[in-house]
Structure 1
Amino acid sequence: MDRFEAMSLLVAVSDAGSFSAASRALKVPLATLSRKVGELETLLGARVLMRTTRRLALTDAGLAYVAAARRILEQVEEAEREVAGEFTSPKGQLVITAPVMFGRRHVLPLVAEFLADFPHIDVRLLLADRNLHLAEDHVDMAVRIGALPDSALVATRIGTMRLVTCASPALLAGHGAPARPEALGAWPCVAFDMPSAPPGWRFREPETGAILDIPVRPRLSVTTTEAALDAALRGIGVVRLLQYQVAEAVARRELKLLLEEFEPEPAPVHLIHAARGQMPLKMRRFLDLAAPRLRTTLARLAETGLP
């Protein structure tokens, strides 16, 4: 048995939460994955995984072993990168993820400049409106909009982002502008049809800071921010998006911001990466380029509302 391979597979199963999810992520047959983890348990003389009704869970022995295995795997990976020269010269592949629209508008131009400056680095830019898992999806660095959970990830704060409500002038001409969030109950709205989306829209009383959860009537539900923006531009309904997603339309007066004084606190924006000791130069160089530039972009957007 290849003990190092078995350790890697066990960590992958623990991260994925099931043998089937790890099998898909690793492209390893499910039977092979189960057999090799079983062989490792036999070698250890202890059960490291137990099944629950919802997912796999680690035993106490498994928790200790996986933590140790993760440290060993990270040390080996770091040693391999050092031997390959990633710590002495910027080279290799850099994998970056960002929200779709933010990535296309603000990260892609930085990547183009970065590639021109560093000819020995290749970049995979993964644009997705769901948060990819850095370890499972083999991501080096990510742009995150929103509060971060406690984790071992390293976060560099680059600004904040408003969550804004807006509508087209044509829609407002037929309805007038709502004076308070509660009025939105009578308005047609454009909403996201996603499993994690809350049932209503959250606002905040400007004087007291009290939270207002307002139910809305989705005249149209969509699954992408681009579709929500297009629907709002066509006057289908009121939409709620992040400020950068509507900034150009607002600047062209194709959309008008509503209920600005009732907006919730702006969401923090970070660049995050895994904490793995010394950072490879390819990541260090991209962070040095991207952090100040994105910080300037977000500050300008916060001050002027212009993209």
Structure 2
Amino acid sequence: MDRLDNLSTFVAVAEQGSFIAASRQLGRSTTAVSRAVAVLEDVLGTQLLTRTTRAVALTQAGQRTLEQARRILADYAQLRDAADGNATPSGLITITAPEMFGRLHVLPLVESFMAAHSNVEISLLLLNRMVSLIDEGVDLGVRIAHLSDSSLRAIRLGSVRQVLCASPDYLAMAGTPLHPKDLANHRVIAIMGARPLPFRWRFRSSTNPRSVLVKPQLVVNSVQAALEAASRGAGITRVLSYQSAPLEEIGALRRLLIAHEPPSIPIHLVYPVGRYLPSRIRMFIDHAVAALRGRFPEVE
């Protein structure tokens, strides 16, 4: 193995946290991966990793070397990409997004991008959990959240809001709430999440309580189920604005208490810091930004 290959192997071990996981990612034997790291340590004259039976950890020298190795590999990838000139983009892009957002907004982009670039393959992971891009080998991710992960570079695409909605039939029968406290007199459909009961919905208001305790008549573990129940008149539910938008557009749901909606939640396209992006990934980012930015306007 040459030294660049040893560097890339070391980076894989450091990011995966184990020789076994790195060997699976690289398609090599664990022995070959371990040997490559040992050769690199011998060349550099320092220990880069501390090894246990289950995992590895970076030494201080290893942490410094990891940052430098990423830059070297990124520079080499950029040089190789530039040498390709106008070569047709090819290869695999792995993307993750929340299930419903991905189905509604990312999948159409994937289809149109593949139609324009037939040599590109895309693996789209629609998951309602936070995916570690580095640990799980993902190139790009859509995050609908306030970001705190400094290992990711982010491109803001817009924002969404938490909104209340109900069907016209339900509102005709039960009346329209004018204030969050009015929810005590309405049927509520809640979505079970990571937080335990009770269900407390937050609102923006300068003179009234910032949150309201709701007692749902129906609790579901699916946003789609909550929307379908609400559209059939089962009560009032709370979702993200992009989730209810298709049903609002056809008049199946109406948005409620707009003046009391909490601050918006940003949408970002994210990717790991310190990696050079191959042309296929840069082109997909441009494609996604052009299509999505402006579709979710920033509203405070």
Query: Fold-level match, TM-score > 0.5?
Result: yes
Once residues 229 and 174 of structure 1 are traced to their aligned partners in structure 2, the CA distance between those partners, rounded to angstroms, is: 18
1:88–1:281 Cα contact (<8 Å) kept: no
TM-score (norm 1): 0.75
What stretches of structure 1 of length at least 5 have no aligned partner?
Answer: 14-18, 51-55, 303-307
Residue 101 of structure 1 aligns with an amino acid whose one-letter code is: M
Q: Which residue of 2 aligns with 1:12?
A: 16
Once residues 251 and 295 of structure 1 are traced to their aligned partners in structure 2, the CA distance between those partners, rounded to angstroms, is: 20
Identity within the alignment, %: 32
2:141 aligns to what SS in structure 1?
Answer: strand
1:172 aligns to what SS in structure 2?
Answer: helix
Kindly tell me: are residues 63 and 26 of structure 1, through their superposed partners in 2, closer, same or farther at Cα, counting changes over 3 Å?
farther
Once residues 84 and 201 of structure 2 are traced to their aligned partners in structure 1, the CA distance between those partners, rounded to angstroms, is: 46
Kindly tell me: are residues 6 and 145 of structure 1, through their superposed partners in 2, closer, same or farther at Cα, counting changes over 3 Å?
closer
Once residues 192 and 137 of structure 2 are traced to their aligned partners in structure 1, the CA distance between those partners, rounded to angstroms, is: 28
Residue 282 of structure 1 aligns with an amino acid whose one-letter code is: R
Q: Which residue of 2 aligns with 1:124?
A: 123
Kindly tell me: are residues 6 and 290 of structure 1, through their superposed partners in 2, closer, same or farther at Cα, counting changes over 3 Å?
closer
| Cα-to-partner distance string for 1:183-204 (whole Å, 9 max, x where unaligned) | 2234332222222477311101
1:125 aligns to what SS in structure 2?
Answer: strand
| Cα-to-partner distance string for 1:220-269 (whole Å, 9 max, x where unaligned) | 22222211211211222211111111112112221111111000011111
Once residues 48 and 187 of structure 2 are traced to their aligned partners in structure 1, the CA distance between those partners, rounded to angstroms, is: 59
1:218 aligns to what SS in structure 2?
Answer: coil
Kindly tell me: are residues 87 and 94 of structure 1, through their superposed partners in 2, closer, same or farther at Cα, counting changes over 3 Å?
farther
Q: Which residue of 1 aligns with 2:161?
A: 162
Q: Which residue of 2 aligns with 1:72?
A: 69
2:141–2:269 Cα contact (<8 Å) kept: yes
Kindly tell me: are residues 3 and 124 of structure 1, through their superposed partners in 2, closer, same or farther at Cα, counting changes over 3 Å?
closer
Q: How does 1:1-307 map to 2 (within 5 A)?
A: 8-13=12-17, 48=50, 62=59, 65-66=62-63, 68-69=65-66, 71-72=68-69, 75-76=72-73, 79=76, 83=80, 89=87, 90-196=89-195, 199-205=199-205, 207=206, 212-299=210-297
Displacement of 1:124? 1.0
| Cα-to-partner distance string for 1:264-307 (whole Å, 9 max, x where unaligned) | 011111111112353211111111111021013223x97xxxxx
Kindly tell me: are residues 277 and 259 of structure 1, through their superposed partners in 2, closer, same or farther at Cα, counting changes over 3 Å?
same
Kindly tell me: are residues 285 and 191 of structure 1, through their superposed partners in 2, closer, same or farther at Cα, counting changes over 3 Å?
same
TM-score (norm 2): 0.76
Residue 12 of structure 1 aligns with an amino acid whose one-letter code is: Q
2:293 aligns to what SS in structure 1?
Answer: helix
Displacement of 1:177? 1.5
Once residues 201 and 107 of structure 1 are traced to their aligned partners in structure 2, the CA distance between those partners, rounded to angstroms, is: 28
Kindly tell me: are residues 235 and 276 of structure 1, through their superposed partners in 2, closer, same or farther at Cα, counting changes over 3 Å?
same
1:86–1:282 Cα contact (<8 Å) kept: no
Kindly tell me: are residues 271 and 11 of structure 1, through their superposed partners in 2, closer, same or farther at Cα, counting changes over 3 Å?
closer
